[in-house]
Amino acid sequence: MTRLRLGKTGAEIRLGQELGSGGEGSVFAIADRSDVVAKIYASKPDERKIQKLSAMTGIASPALLRVSAWPVDVLQDVRGVTYGFIMPRVIARRDIHELYSPKSRAEAFPDADFRFLCHVGANIARAFAVVHEHGHVLGDINHGNLLVGPDGTVILIDCDSIQLRVGTQVYTSDVGVPLFTPSELHGQPLKGLVRTPNHDRFGLAILLFHLLYMGRHPFAGRYSGPGEMPIDKAIAEYRFAYGPERVRGGMESPPGTPLLEAMGAAIASNFIRAFSRSSIPSGRPDAQSWIRALDDLKAGLRTCSAVSWHQYPAELGSCLWCSVEKQTAVRLFRGRVSALGVVGAISIEALWRAIIAVADPGPDPLLPSDRPFELPSSVALPSAAVNAIRKAASLACVVGGLIGFTYFSGGGGLLSAIMALVIAASLWPRVSQEQRSEAERAYAATDAAWQSILGKWIAEASQGAFQEKLKSLEKARVELLDLPSERSRRLRKLDAQRESQQRQRYLDRFRIEHSRIRGIGASRTSMLESYGIETAADISPGSILRIPGFGESLTSALVAWRREHESNFRYNPNEAIHPQVIFVLDQQLEARRQQLMAILSRGPADLRQLTLEINAARPRLMPVIERTWTEYRIAQVRRDALR
């Protein structure tokens, strides 16, 4: 490689690894420099191009360098021949078109939501604004000259192709992409054409429409007139497929696309002004107009109550993206289940810190059941000592009578025994059955009352209620943190079912209405559809036989038709799980995530309320506890005393 020097300082540089190449040339790393890269042209640039590059390096301002890979110095050999230039190195960014459509966005920007798209759109407009404020025009606007970072910032690349104005000198941009070229320039040669910021504003509006309308081109639609209507022809004829004049222009927007008005009046008005015939004399919305409209749109977004990763304009009555997804069965935003860090605007760990920071009601006060019981002095009970003495005396009389009967003969022994038994009977303590029953009833009643108030205490006044709530919140937190793992487990299960899923999708390709099945005409096809039988995948003997008018013969014909297609199915073990299956899985997990988040979000307030209720219940219930326990123990002692 030729030895190259910097044009301003003459310092020699060494080219490193080739980083990329295109039609004009290649981009190389520079040895010992990580902040800049070199663009080397495939063929020597002409004098006009060299003058333009030199002029660009002389006006590289901090504002331009913040939004673009602007040339900062030229690269020359020892003879002063220009080979290219150096520019700031751009890393960790993706092409703007990877953010447009749901499929590419899921891979390149998996965490992007609509709020992020609005943010990026406003940053695109800001980049345009900087270029225009410096008196320049981008000219060649296309998907490939904007890069987006994970933070939503935008960098313009291929800046050597822009239209540069330095004093009275204008270096034109001689190329362009038809899909981004304004209507009034279609059919005109671009070489040497001096463009205006109003031309750029058409391309800016195209970029923003792609971004806000899920990768759709504003001039791509169904044309009701004669012949074909390719996009470039539609642009040239002002056939905006979403505008108020679309019907008059014979255009219809594709199915499953949001209405132009869905983004709000300001956004809709800007697009209409950008794409209508009146945009030439009156001017298209400038970058500042788009910045205001997009910032307002972003600020007014509402989070969907059903799917937390959907944000939609607040003016709408319901979620725009749920409606589009329902119509198209295409998942617009990936919305990964997130367990660590921030979920929406709420951090799980921050929530948990708030939960465990709530003061508990303190340890339970000592209950009377945990203290020694002292019978109130006012309570009179049968004397246990007297009863014991009476029982002993009675037994002594019985023993004495038996001895007298044994040692005295005749009537004297018998008489002494009888007298002893009479005395013993009179001495034995007497308790009636009625007294015992009454004591048992009193005991049972007070025992039930004690168990009831104790249960009430545990539920309302015990620290255990607080701890149980805390445990339930911990369980919710653990489940929430485990959702990514749960997703992995379910994906593994789905992976094991890939063959049946592939077979189902394969059979879904064969619609009954497009087939020729014996005995199945238009009428019967309509009947089948009324019962949810539309494709080969829906057919089974049981599902057909339950439909009125379908007997064994027609069922056999339909089953045979399904089997014919099924015999051609070949399982592809390399095919991933279908996105729609994952979409359904993620919807289920997201619904559960939101339930758990709601539980945790209410956690601090619930715990604080529990603490208040427990601390209020303790002084309210403690007198009842004391009284009920005393009544219970008195009844217990009385019952035991009467046994």
Do 489 and 337 touch, CB atoms closer than 8 A? no
Alpha helices by DSSP H, listed for 47-113, are: 47-58, 62-67, 97-100, 102-108
Within 10 angstroms of residue 545's Cβ, the number of other Cβ atoms is 12
Torsion of CA 17, 21, 27, 31, to 10 degrees: 10
Q: Give me Rg for the CA atoms of the chain.
A: 44
pLDDT band at 18 (very low <50, low <70, confident <90, very high): very high
Do 363 and 463 touch, CB atoms closer than 8 A? yes
- Report the pLDDT value the prediction gives residue 383, as an integer from 0 to 100: 54
Provide the angle, in degrees to the nearest 10, between the axes of the packed helices 579-641 and 463-481: 160
Do 311 and 302 touch, CB atoms closer than 8 A? yes
Q: What is the DSSP letter of 366?
A: P
- Whether residue 160 is found in the same domain as residue 304: yes
- Report the pLDDT value the prediction gives residue 377, as an integer from 0 to 100: 72
Strand pairing of 15-21 and 94-95? unpaired
pLDDT, tens only, 373-391? 888 877 766 555 555 665 6
- Whether residue 156 is found in the same domain as residue 187: yes
- Whether residue 199 is found in the same domain as residue 279: yes
- Mean of pLDDT values over 193-209: 95
| Residue 519 domain flag | no
Angle, CA of 214, 215 and 220, to the nearest 5°: 115
- Report the pLDDT value the prediction gives residue 62, as an integer from 0 to 100: 95
Token pair belonging to 179: 């899909």
Cα–Cα distance measured from residue 211 to residue 200, given in angstroms and rounded to the nearest whole number: 17
pLDDT, tens only, 219-247? 887 788 887 777 888 899 999 989 999 99
Strand pairing of 15-21 and 25-30? antiparallel
Domain count, the chain: 4
| Residue 532 domain flag | no
Average pLDDT, the chain: 86
- Report the pLDDT value the prediction gives residue 400, as an integer from 0 to 100: 66
Do 223 and 239 touch, CB atoms closer than 8 A? yes
For the chain, give the longest Cα–Cα distance.
161
pLDDT band at 526 (very low <50, low <70, confident <90, very high): very low
Token pair belonging to 479: 């489940």
- Whether residue 370 is found in the same domain as residue 400: no
| pTM > 0.75 | no
Cα–Cα distance measured from residue 163 to residue 45, given in angstroms and rounded to the nearest whole number: 16
Q: What is the DSSP letter of 138?
A: -
Q: What is the DSSP letter of 163?
A: B
Of the listed ranges 178-192, 372-386, 611-625, the least confidently predicted one is 372-386
Q: What are phi and psi of 310, to 5 degrees?
A: -100, 125
Q: What are phi and psi of 169, to 5 degrees?
A: -85, 130
- Mean of pLDDT values over 596-606: 91
**Over 50: is that where the pLDDT of 342 sits?**
no
- Mean of pLDDT values over 208-217: 89
| Residue 520 domain flag | no
| Percent of the chain predicted with pLDDT > 90 | 51
Within 10 angstroms of residue 197's Cβ, the number of other Cβ atoms is 21
Q: What are phi and psi of 160, to 5 degrees?
A: -70, -10
Within 10 angstroms of residue 407's Cβ, the number of other Cβ atoms is 10
349 vs 260, residue with greater confidence: 260
Cα–Cα distance measured from residue 539 to residue 512, given in angstroms and rounded to the nearest whole number: 10
pLDDT, tens only, 27-53? 999 998 999 999 999 999 999 999 999
Cα–Cα distance measured from residue 378 to residue 309, given in angstroms and rounded to the nearest whole number: 72
pLDDT, tens only, 121-149? 999 999 999 999 999 999 999 888 999 99
| Residue 562 domain flag | no
**Over 80: is that where the pLDDT of 485 sits?**
yes
| Residue 408 domain flag | yes
- Report the pLDDT value the prediction gives residue 621, as an integer from 0 to 100: 93
Do 226 and 260 touch, CB atoms closer than 8 A? no
pLDDT, tens only, 297-338? 999 999 987 777 899 999 998 999 989 888 877 778 876 544
Cα–Cα distance measured from residue 280 to residue 254, given in angstroms and rounded to the nearest whole number: 27
- Whether residue 455 is found in the same domain as residue 506: yes
- Report the pLDDT value the prediction gives residue 343, as an integer from 0 to 100: 43
pLDDT band at 534 (very low <50, low <70, confident <90, very high): confident
H or E stretch covering 146? strand 146-148
Helix (H) and strand (E) counts in the chain: 22, 18
Cα–Cα distance measured from residue 274 to residue 286, given in angstroms and rounded to the nearest whole number: 9
DSSP string of 216-248, one letter each residue: --TT-SEE-SSS---HHHHHHTT--TTSTTTTT
Q: What is the DSSP letter of 36?
A: E
| Residue from 87, 86, 84 nearest 69 by CA | 87
- Whether residue 35 is found in the same domain as residue 181: no
- Whether residue 395 is found in the same domain as residue 450: no
- Report the pLDDT value the prediction gives residue 429, as an integer from 0 to 100: 57
Write the CA distances from 496 to 500, 501, 558, 576, integer angstroms.
9, 10, 29, 11
**Which residue spans within 340-433 are E strands per DSSP?**
342-343, 346-347
pLDDT band at 339 (very low <50, low <70, confident <90, very high): very low
- Whether residue 299 is found in the same domain as residue 373: no
- Whether residue 169 is found in the same domain as residue 215: yes
| Residue 568 domain flag | no
pLDDT band at 340 (very low <50, low <70, confident <90, very high): very low
- Whether residue 257 is found in the same domain as residue 358: no
Highest mean pLDDT among 8-22, 128-142, 404-418, 625-639: 128-142
Angle, CA of 493, 497 and 502, to the nearest 5°: 140
Measured distance between the N- and C-terminal CA atoms of the chain, rounded to whole angstroms: 115
- Whether residue 423 is found in the same domain as residue 437: no
- Report the pLDDT value the prediction gives residue 344, as an integer from 0 to 100: 44
Residue 642 Cα to chain centre, angstroms:
70
Q: Where in the sequence is the domain holding 390, given as residue range(s)?
A: 383-430
Do 269 and 306 touch, CB atoms closer than 8 A? no
What is the b/e burial string over 585-596, where b = at least 16 CB atoms within 10 angstroms of the residue's CB?
bbeebbeebbeb
- Mean of pLDDT values over 485-490: 90
Where among 372, 400, 430 does a domain terminate? 430
| Percent of the chain predicted with pLDDT > 70 | 87
- Which residue type occupies 105? R
Where among 328, 359, 391 does a domain terminate? 328
- Whether residue 500 is found in the same domain as residue 610: yes
Cα–Cα distance measured from residue 152 to residue 434, given in angstroms and rounded to the nearest whole number: 89
- Mean of pLDDT values over 68-91: 94
Do 344 and 336 touch, CB atoms closer than 8 A? no
- Report the pLDDT value the prediction gives residue 640, as an integer from 0 to 100: 81
- Report the pLDDT value the prediction gives residue 345, as an integer from 0 to 100: 45
Alpha helices by DSSP H, listed for 109-189, are: 114-133
| Residue 543 domain flag | no
Residue 168 Cα to chain centre, angstroms:
54
Residue 358 Cα to chain centre, angstroms:
28
- Mean of pLDDT values over 249-260: 87
Cα–Cα distance measured from residue 45 to residue 24, given in angstroms and rounded to the nearest whole number: 10
DSSP string of 382-408, one letter each residue: --HHHHHHHHHHHHHHHHHHHHHHHHS
Cα–Cα distance measured from residue 74 to residue 71, given in angstroms and rounded to the nearest whole number: 8
Where among 328, 363, 393 does a domain terminate? 328
Which residues are CB-contacts of 86 (< 8 A; sequence separation ≥ 6)? 6, 13, 30, 36, 37, 38, 39, 71, 72, 73, 74, 75
Q: What is the CATH number of the domain that holds 67?
A: 3.30.200.20
Within 10 angstroms of residue 191's Cβ, the number of other Cβ atoms is 9
**Over 70: is that where the pLDDT of 283 sits?**
yes
| Residue 507 domain flag | yes
Write 476-482 long-range contacts (CB < 8 A, 24+).
476/596, 476/599, 476/600, 476/603, 477/348, 477/352, 477/596, 477/600, 479/592, 479/596, 480/339, 480/348, 480/593, 480/596, 480/597, 480/600, 481/339, 481/340, 481/348, 482/339
Angle, CA of 581, 585 and 589, to the nearest 5°: 170
